[in-house]
Amino acid sequence: MEIKLTETPPLTMEWRKKKGSKPTGERIIEALIKIAGVSSILLIGAILFFIVKESYPFLMGAFDFKEFFFSTEWYPASVVKIRYGILALLCGTVMVTVLSMLIAVPLGLACAFYISEFCGPRLREIYKILIEFLAAIPSVVWGFIAIMMINPAIIKLFNVPIGLNILNASIILALMSLPLIISVGEDALRAVPETYREAAEALGATKWEIATKVLLPAAKNGLMAASLLGVGRALGETMAVLMATGHSIQIPQSIFEPGRTLTATIAAELGESPKGGEHYQALFAIGLVLFCLSFIVNLTADLLIRGKRQ
């Protein structure tokens, strides 16, 4: 370092110095830009802070770790004995998420493969616009579709008394997370260098062989990240799930039984619970659980994508 400094011609040094002294106006603006730049850190911190703040009295008071996570009894308004057990809600969330991903991940990745590797540029543009279109349908409309369209279809097809159940919510969630899975998966496939494909083709590999033996291993992390982002989306979805799951607090024994998720519970009960009361704080504690879950899922997805780039 020192050697370099002595080697620098004096003129350059002078110029460097002058360049370093910016006008004050510019300095202020650049400071503001930096503040805006770190705003997302501040916001994510603020979200965590306010959720913890609102749920703090509950976490310190009525919260019982064993009851909260391992009891299925969610009776926040019981007259006899108030109980806050979220196991049934957690099960609802997990079941809906897993089932929807079982539908969406294979289909979404197949679709990503097709759009990235097999179809022509024109068709690709059309599909991309369709993906954006599918992604733009708001969740409340999906919920409406679940009630009006999938509900009667399930009753008729499977001959069950009620169509608002785990299966219904999973179908809706699968449709909702498909655009995300497809576009992130496609990005991951596109990120594989063209030379890989050319090399495989030169060896006489067919497209199928290229897809399974070259692209799949090369884009493995990105594809996994795509699936994880889909999981994150399904996990956090509120309105559609609220409308589609059928709203009963129990561990569903089959996919044709109604259930309830963490998100839907908050949405359904927050309006009725008195502000600052224990029930209200318990709902914020559920929010905290959701925040942590989504944080873990997103962090893992990010690590996977970063791993791919290195």
Question: Can you tell me which of 88, 101, 111, 169 binds other proteins, judged by CB under 8 A?
Answer: 111
User: Toward other proteins, which CB reaches closer, 22 or 70?
Assistant: 22
**Beta-carbon-side half-sphere exposure of residue 8 (alpha carbons within 13 Å):** 12
Widest CA span in the chain: 88
Residue 250 in contact with residue 256, Cβ under 8 Å?
no
Instruction: Work out how close the CB of 10 gets to other proteins at its nearest, in angstroms, rounded to a whole number.
Output: 20
Instruction: Work out how close the CB of 143 gets to other proteins at its nearest, in angstroms, rounded to a whole number.
Output: 7
Contacts of residue 59, Cβ cutoff 8 Å, sequence gap at least 6: 52, 281, 285
Read off the tokens for 161. 């008394």
115 lines the binding site for other proteins (CB under 8 A)? yes
34 lines the binding site for other proteins (CB under 8 A)? yes
Instruction: Give how many residues touch other proteins by CB under 8 A.
Output: 79
Of 57-65, 67-75, 191-199, 269-277, which segment contacts other proteins by CB under 8 A?
A: 269-277
Considering Cα of 224, then 230, then 235, then 241, what sign does the dihedral take? negative
Per-residue binding string, other proteins, 119-148, x by CB under 8 A, is x-------x-xx-xxx-xxxxxx-xxx-xx
Read off the tokens for 140. 């409340």
Per-residue binding string, other proteins, 228-267, x by CB under 8 A, is -x--x--xxxxx---x-------------------x--xx
Question: Can you tell me which of 46, 77, 102, 203 binds other proteins, judged by CB under 8 A?
Answer: 46
Question: Can you tell me which of 107, 216, 249, 251 binds other proteins, judged by CB under 8 A?
Answer: 107
Q: How many CB atoms lie within 10 A of CB 58?
A: 21
Read off the tokens for 262. 């963490």
Question: Can you tell me which of 26, 79, 121, 309 binds other proteins, judged by CB under 8 A?
Answer: 26
Question: Can you tell me which of 83, 190, 207, 279 binds other proteins, judged by CB under 8 A?
Answer: 207
User: Toward other proteins, which CB reaches closer, 91 or 150?
Assistant: 150
Residue 239 in contact with residue 163, Cβ under 8 Å?
no
Read off the tokens for 43. 């916001």
Instruction: Work out how close the CB of 178 gets to other proteins at its nearest, in angstroms, rounded to a whole number.
Output: 6
Of 66-74, 84-92, 251-259, 299-307, which segment contacts other proteins by CB under 8 A?
A: 299-307
Question: Can you tell me which of 13, 14, 16, 47 binds other proteins, judged by CB under 8 A?
Answer: 47
Residue 72: phi, psi to the nearest 5? Answer: -90, 5
Strands (E), 78-234: 83-84
DSSP 3-state of 206: coil
Which residues within the stretch 139-198 sit at the binding site for other proteins (CB under 8 A)?
139-141, 143-145, 147-149, 175, 178
Considering Cα of 293, then 297, then 298, then 302, what sign does the dihedral take? positive
* Residue matched to tokens 């369209």: 149
69 lines the binding site for other proteins (CB under 8 A)? no
